């Protein structure tokens, strides 16, 4: 059961009017249906850029060069053997220490007392080699993840070549400096052809800027001071016409691209809270097994089954959670990398992790839930006119209207079979103005067709001497308003023809995505400047859980705080300066790249494509990161059962517990080696999974648990039994042990 609640109603704020040519939109603004209340709901049809194409096609927009990652990772994996680096991962460090000790007993087999068994050197040497590879594989996993991150970062860095900047001195003079020498607050001048040297805010001039380096969107973007959206520029983009005066808003190396580079490269990577807690638990499990194995030789000695130091170390390494220990950091880095691949800049790993926990998404209606333009949905004839007539008049009134709304009227009319039956070149378009609140066409034969606000059209008809029979039109008006649509009236000369139903079009597929989110336990709240009737219709249609109509920026913060007071984690998108406080308040705030600098600073992620629906994908990435971590932890620990059953029965020759050797492993040495080889090989085998992540499905928690526990829990119990047995058969066949 979904509840659609209605929230407070607040007066609306007049926005600055800059785009005169958008006639129909201006009608709507003056129809008493406050359209875009404020810049929290920027009108995306007018925003400088709308990304085109599907999201998948826009991924990896900065060309990522993946060549040579593996070669570099192979070398890096050796560098990471440096004890000072290795000690950061306690589990793998212990394996590293074990490697050194087994190496010592390979060289001096009797170092810790006389060694039993034949040819202990070969056996110890093999163990040392396997342990070495276990550590190296773990390093390799991390290096590959870092390498992929670096490749992503290099692609970004290519956009950030060191350029010369024209710094404006306090006395008005201009000095050429390197872009790296710029500091926050400096003013620079850029002219057509220049690369913008740093992130900044436009304080003077009007110019078009090519931002394709960052967004992959080829259409140039208009930049001018004073507007929320169009006044921020990003370092590395190119100005292609005119000139701009820019105030630098970040020191070099502090821009958000720099932050993303640092993050995906792993250099600046700080462990996330959950990662820290997991590391603690893994370290404790390691300690537990260290105690178990350290006490074992003494206890075993008592019953005359001495355990050699190499076997004890082998047992220890088999038991401690090396699989997850070796892959943990790779999983984290790969998660950040996935976010970057979506063209989203995250400023911390914590934010990505928090995405998985999001309970509520606060979404703007326009551009996120609806397409952003109202489109003609239906014509309602009045006063005895036929539908065909109305379609013809509507078409005639809209031929000069270039707005999406106008075009949609043309499209609808043509679908209904209407055609232009006059010479367009001789007709004259009548632009919308705030005074007339209508637009239309003066036909060559002097007939005036108009569409516009209902009372404006009524007035027009009256002024042309038409009768005052408006009952049917009023009824149509009522009907359309009731359905949450925007009515336009239509007339030809002194005759009222009908009403046009302009409707907010919900994005295709958005309803399904909200349903998925609901199944995942994420509530969606729609924010809109529309009145409550319109809002509730859209809310019903899109399937959001809640909506806030006639919302102001304050309402946004209030809504977020109210959710947070219930312990919920809230994510939101925003781009205006007055979104900044709400972005900062939200647990995950995603700013649009087209947004203002203030919004970007307040957010913990910036979407370079300025696609607000991407928030939904980011939630999925966060969840995927956590699931991958959990799945590999479970798998790693479940593996212990098989390793125990491989090693314990065979290392106490006098205990007579051979029948516990359920896998029937060939010999003591081959059993120990098989378990260890499995333990080492499982790390590279799981690298692809760690890097791409466990596939996330929008299911409920219980379904997910059931699925994953079957796969990684039960699989983790069974798989090693099979694998160790196979390795044992191979070892026996080769005659290694």
386-405 binders of another protein (CB under 8 A) = none
Residue 626: CB atoms within 10 A of its CB come to 21
Interactions with another protein, residue window 710-729 (CB under 8 A)? 712-713
Near another protein in 560-619, by CB under 8 A: 566-569
For another protein, which is the closer residue by CB, 349 or 574?
349
Among 42, 485, 622, 720, binds another protein (CB under 8 A): 622
Asked if residue 122 binds another protein (CB under 8 A), the reply is: no
The reply on whether position 468 binds another protein by CB under 8 A is no
Binding mask 264-283 for another protein (x = CB under 8 A): ---------xx-xxx-xx--
CB-based contact 412:444 (threshold 8 Å)? no
Closer to another protein by CB, 709 or 732: give it: 709
Q: Which is nearer to another protein, 219 or 641 (CB)?
A: 641
CB 526 within 8 Å of CB 505: no
72 binds another protein (CB under 8 A): no
Known catalytic membership, residue 455: no
Contact 451, 440 (CB under 8 A): yes
**Contact criterion met (CB below 8 Å) for 354 and 588:** yes
Phi, psi of 205 (to 5 degrees): 90, 165
Contact window for another protein (CB under 8 A) among 113-121, 297-305, 493-501, 673-681: 297-305
In the bound complex, what is the minimum distance in angstroms from residue 468's beta carbon to another protein? 56
Site for another protein, residues 152 to 171, rule: CB under 8 A: none
Site map (CB under 8 A) of another protein, residues 506-525, x = contact: ------------xxxxxx--
List binders of another protein among 235-264 (CB under 8 A). none
Nearer to another protein, 193 or 567 (CB): 567
State which residue, 154 or 357, has the beta carbon closest to another protein: 357
Residues in region 188-207 near another protein by CB under 8 A: none
- Exposure string over 657-681, b if 16+ CB within 10 A, otherwise e: eeeebebebbebbbbbbbbbbbbbb
Question: From the list 255, 589, 649, 720, which residue makes contact with another protein (rule: CB under 8 A)?
Answer: 649
Asked if 298 is part of the footprint of another protein (rule: CB under 8 A), the reply reads yes
Distance of closest approach, residue 709 Cβ to another protein, in angstroms? 6
According to CB under 8 A, which one of 57, 82, 301, 692 is a site residue for another protein? 301
82: left (phi over 0), alpha (psi -120 to 50) or beta: beta
DSSP 8-state class, residue 576: S
From the CB of 532, what's the least distance to another protein, in Å? 26
Beta strands in 90-220 (DSSP E): 164-168, 174-178, 187-191, 200-204, 207-210
Q: How far apart are CA 50 and CA 561, in angstroms?
A: 30
Nearest in space to 184 (alpha carbons), one of 284, 95, 100, 255:
255
- State which residue, 129 or 709, has the beta carbon closest to another protein: 709
Question: Least distance in Å: CB of 127 to another protein?
Answer: 19
Q: Pattern 662-701, binding to another protein, x per CB under 8 A?
A: ----------------------------------x---xx
Nearer to another protein, 299 or 662 (CB): 299
* Residue reference for tokens 């209902």: 454
DSSP 3-state of 428? strand
Check binding of 422 to another protein (CB under 8 A): no
Per rule CB under 8 A, is residue 30 in the interface with another protein? Answer: no
C-alpha R_g of the chain? 34
In angstroms, give the least distance from the CB of 664 to another protein.
16
Secondary structure, 3-state, 38-63: CCCCCCCCCCCCCCCCCHHHHCCCCC
When binding is defined by CB under 8 A, the residue of 9, 65, 287, 667 that contacts another protein is: 287
User: Residues in contact with another protein, total (CB under 8 A)?
Assistant: 73
- CB neighbour list of residue 379: distance below 8 Å, 6 or more residues apart: 387, 390, 391, 394, 412, 413, 416, 490, 498, 499, 500, 501
CA–CA dist 569, 514 (Å, integer): 17
Dihedral sign of CA atoms 76, 82, 87, 93 in order: positive
Determine which residue in the list 652, 670, 687, 719 makes contact with another protein, applying CB under 8 A. 652
Question: Which CB atom, from 296 or from 309, has the smaller least distance to another protein?
Answer: 296
CB of 535 to another protein, least distance (A): 24
Tell me which residue of 206, 211, 215 sits closest to 235, measured CA to CA. Answer: 211
Q: Which helix (H) or strand (E) holds 372?
A: strand 370-381
By CB atoms closer than 10 A (0-12, 13-18, 19+), residue 291 is exposed
**What is d(CA 379, CA 479) in angstroms, rounded to the nearest whole number?**
12
Q: Which of 127, 138, 317, 631 binds another protein (CB under 8 A)?
A: 631
Residue 670 near residue 736 (C-beta atoms within 8 A):
yes
Q: Which stretch binds another protein (CB under 8 A): 164-172, 333-341, 353-361, 718-726?
A: 353-361
Adjacency order of strands within the sheet including 200-204: 174-178, 164-168, 187-191, 243-248, 200-204, 232-233
Name 558's Cβ contacts closer than 8 Å, sequence gap at least 6: none
Contact 377, 485 (CB under 8 A): yes
Closer to another protein by Cβ: residue 73 or 285: 285
In the bound state with another protein, the residue whose beta carbon lies nearer, of 220 and 356, is 356
The correct pick among 22, 27, 33, 289 for binding another protein (CB under 8 A) is: 289
The phi and psi torsions of 379 (rounded to 5 degrees) equal -105, 135
Q: What is the rounded CA–CA span in Å between residue 395 and residue 141?
A: 63
Q: Tell me whether residue 185 or residue 273 sits nearer to another protein (CB atom).
A: 273
Q: Which stretch binds another protein (CB under 8 A): 336-344, 418-426, 489-497, 651-659?
A: 651-659
Of 265, 405, 575, 640, the one binding another protein by CB under 8 A: 640
Q: Does 319 bind another protein (CB under 8 A)?
A: yes
Strand, helix or coil for residue 231: coil
Give yes or no for residue 353 binding another protein (CB under 8 A).
yes
Specify which residues 363 forms β-bridges with: 526
Q: How far is the CB of 98 from another protein (least distance, A)?
A: 18
Least CB distance from residue 649 to another protein, whole Å? 7
709 binds another protein (CB under 8 A): yes
Minimum gap (Å) between residue 162 Cβ and another protein: 41
- The residue (of 36 and 324) whose beta carbon lies closer to another protein is 324
Residue among 277 and 475 whose Cβ is closer to another protein: 277
Counting every residue, how long is the chain? 737
- Determine which residue in the list 172, 702, 734, 735 makes contact with another protein, applying CB under 8 A: 702
Q: Tell me which of 364, 545, 575, 640 is the catalytic residue.
A: 364
What's the closest the beta carbon of residue 300 comes to another protein, in angstroms? Answer: 6
Query: Which position among 305, 383, 531, 661 is part of the footprint of another protein (CB under 8 A)?
Result: 305
For residue 218, the tally of other CB atoms under 10 A from its CB is 10
Q: Structure tokens of 608?
A: 């370079």
Rounded to a whole number of angstroms, the minimum distance from the CB of residue 570 to another protein is 12
State yes or no: residue 626 binds another protein (CB under 8 A). Answer: yes
Q: Is 359 in the site for another protein (CB under 8 A)?
A: yes
Residues with catalytic roles: 364
């Amino acid at each position: 059961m979904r509840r659609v609640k209605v929230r407070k109603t607040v007066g609306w704020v007049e926005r600055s009017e800059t785009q005169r040519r958008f006639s129909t939109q201006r009608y709507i603004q003056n129809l008493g249906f406050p359209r875009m209340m404020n810049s929290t709901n920027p009108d995306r049809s007018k925003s400088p850029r709308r990304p085109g194409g599907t999201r998948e096609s826009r991924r990896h927009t900065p060309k990522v060069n993946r060549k040579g990652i593996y070669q570099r990772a192979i070398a890096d994996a050796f560098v990471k053997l440096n004890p000072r680096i290795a000690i950061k991962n306690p589990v793998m460090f212990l394996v590293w220490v074990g490697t050194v000790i087994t190496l010592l007993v390979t060289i001096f087999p009797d170092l810790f007392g006389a060694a039993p068994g034949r040819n202990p050197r070969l056996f110890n040497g093999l163990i040392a080699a396997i342990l070495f590879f276990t550590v190296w594989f773990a390093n390799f996993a991390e290096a590959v993840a870092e390498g992929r991150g670096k490749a992503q970062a290099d692609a970004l860095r290519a956009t950030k070549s060191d350029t010369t900047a024209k710094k404006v001195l306090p006395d008005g003079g201009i000095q050429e400096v390197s872009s790296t020498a710029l500091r926050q607050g400096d003013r620079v001048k850029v002219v057509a052809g220049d690369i913008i040297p740093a992130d900044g805010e436009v304080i003077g001039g009007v110019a078009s800027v090519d931002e394709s380096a960052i967004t992959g969107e080829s259409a140039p973007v208009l930049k001018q001071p004073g507007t929320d959206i169009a006044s921020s520029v990003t370092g590395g983009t190119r100005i292609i016409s005119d000139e701009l005066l820019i105030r630098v808003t970040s020191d070099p190396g502090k821009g958000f691209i720099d932050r993303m580079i640092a993050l995906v490269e792993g250099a600046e990577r700080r462990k996330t809270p959950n990662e820290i807690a997991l590391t603690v638990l893994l370290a404790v499990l390691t300690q537990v097994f260290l105690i178990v194995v350290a006490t074992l030789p003494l206890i075993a000695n008592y019953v005359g089954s001495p355990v050699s130091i190499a076997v004890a170390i082998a047992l220890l390494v088999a038991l401690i959670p090396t699989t997850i220990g070796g892959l943990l950091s790779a999983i984290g880095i790969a998660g950040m990398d996935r976010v970057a691949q979506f063209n989203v800049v995250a400023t911390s790993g914590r934010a990505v992790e928090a995405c998985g926990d999001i309970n509520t998404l606060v979404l703007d209606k326009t551009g996120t839930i609806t397409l952003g333009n109202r489109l003609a949905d239906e014509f309602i004839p009045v006063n005895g006119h036929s539908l065909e007539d109305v379609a013809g008049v509507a078409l005639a009134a809209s031929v000069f209207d270039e707005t999406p709304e106008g075009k949609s009227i043309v499209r609808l009319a043509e679908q209904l079979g209407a055609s232009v039956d006059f010479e367009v070149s001789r007709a004259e378009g009548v632009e919308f103005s705030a005074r007339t609140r209508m637009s239309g066409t003066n036909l060559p034969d002097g007939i005036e067709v108009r569409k516009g606000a209902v009372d404006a059209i009524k007035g027009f008809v009256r002024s042309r001497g038409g009768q005052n029979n408006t009952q049917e039109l009023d009824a149509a008006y009522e009907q359309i308003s009731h359905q949450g649509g925007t009515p336009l009236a239509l007339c030809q000369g002194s005759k009222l023809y009908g009403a046009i139903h302009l409707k907010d079009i919900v994005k295709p597929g958005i309803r399904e995505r909200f349903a998925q989110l609901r199944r995942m336990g994420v509530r969606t709240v729609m924010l809109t400047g529309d009145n409550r009737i319109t809002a509730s219709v859209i809310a019903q249609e899109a399937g959001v859980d809640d909506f806030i109509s006639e919302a102001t920026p304050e309402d946004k913060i209030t809504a977020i705080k109210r959710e947070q007071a219930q312990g919920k984690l809230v994510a939101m998108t925003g781009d205006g300066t007055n979104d900044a406080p709400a972005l900062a308040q939200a647990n995950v705030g995603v700013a649009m790249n087209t947004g203002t600098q203030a919004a970007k600073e307040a957010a913990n992620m910036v979407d370079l494509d300025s696609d607000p629906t991407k928030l939904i994908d980011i939630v999925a990435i966060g969840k995927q990161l956590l699931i991958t971590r959990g799945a590999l932890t479970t798998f790693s620990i479940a593996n212990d059962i098989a390793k125990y059953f491989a090693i314990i029965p065979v290392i106490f020759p006098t205990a007579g517990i051979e029948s516990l050797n359920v896998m029937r492993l060939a010999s003591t040495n081959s059993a120990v080696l098989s378990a260890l080889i499995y333990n080492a090989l499982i790390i590279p085998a799981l690298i692809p999974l760690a890097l791409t992540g466990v596939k996330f499905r929008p299911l409920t928690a219980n379904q997910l648990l059931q699925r994953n526990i079957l796969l990684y829990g039960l699989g983790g119990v069974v798989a090693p039994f099979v694998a160790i047995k196979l390795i044992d058969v191979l070892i026996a066949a080769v005659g290694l042990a």
